[in-house]
Chain A
Amino acid sequence: MTVQSYAGRAPRPSSLADVLELVLDKGLVIDAYVRVSLVGIELLTIDARIVVASVDTYLRFAEATNRLDIQAASNAEGLPQLIEDMTEKGASSKTRGALSGVAEEVSGWFGRGEDDEDEDSRRDGERRPRRPARSGASRRGRDNSRENARRRRPSNEDEEE
């Protein structure tokens, strides 16, 4: 199968979070009693649901209206300076920050294979002990939710042995 290329289309989704949603959330699964799951991978997509409180959203929009030139808006013309302001500290930055946070978290998780925590990760997967607190400052904030997620999951890995 060959498909002509088109500049606006990538072979895969461009963000790691979207790729992971595809390959971790979707696809065929093998019965839990037979399969051996790779270490930790089921935990990756859990933090990807974000709730933004309504009032916070409303206040962001109210603030944004102050930056809007109404006349220009009604002409639907560009306001480059204002838009730049918004991009820096405006309405969408909060959501974007949270989303890229997920991607960073996720890549951190995979990247861990490179260092000496490999050993821990593997044993985690086999026996699911409570994970000792990590020293990495960037991950500390997430450890709780990850632990909770881990405990919610039934442990299947031992069935194979």
Chain B
Amino acid sequence: MAKKRIGFGIFLILFCTIAYIMTYSIPQRVQMEVSAAFFPRVVLIALAVSALLVIIGGLKEYRLEKAQMKKEEKGEFHYKLLVLSLINCLGYGILLKPLGFVFTSSVFLILQMWLMTADITKKIFIRNTILSITVVVALYVLFTTVFYVPLP
């Protein structure tokens, strides 16, 4: 965790530096006591200072961990499931407009339920598919015909 904190602190300082430089491109349309760039600059400075404190805290923690010969306990990390879920969510966003709400949402639900179910059987898959389509169609009908909210 100490190394993560140090790395995160460094990233934050870099981010704040770049963002602070970008505030100089914020136009000032009207002469005002406090410009539109003022508050972002104050917050970015505060964030950079806080990031420095995070790094200092991280370094102290790292020295302590090293002195105590502590090793960070890593739990199980399922990269594959995480990446597939991420791709599924991103795919949903990309395909929602071209393919429409009903089709995209149904496919998303079927895929995500399949990913999330350990020891999936054919029976469970069929149940999930029927459930997914039913839920999506019900939501579509509710929003378009009852609430008059147009959906993609």
- Is B a genuine binding partner of A? no
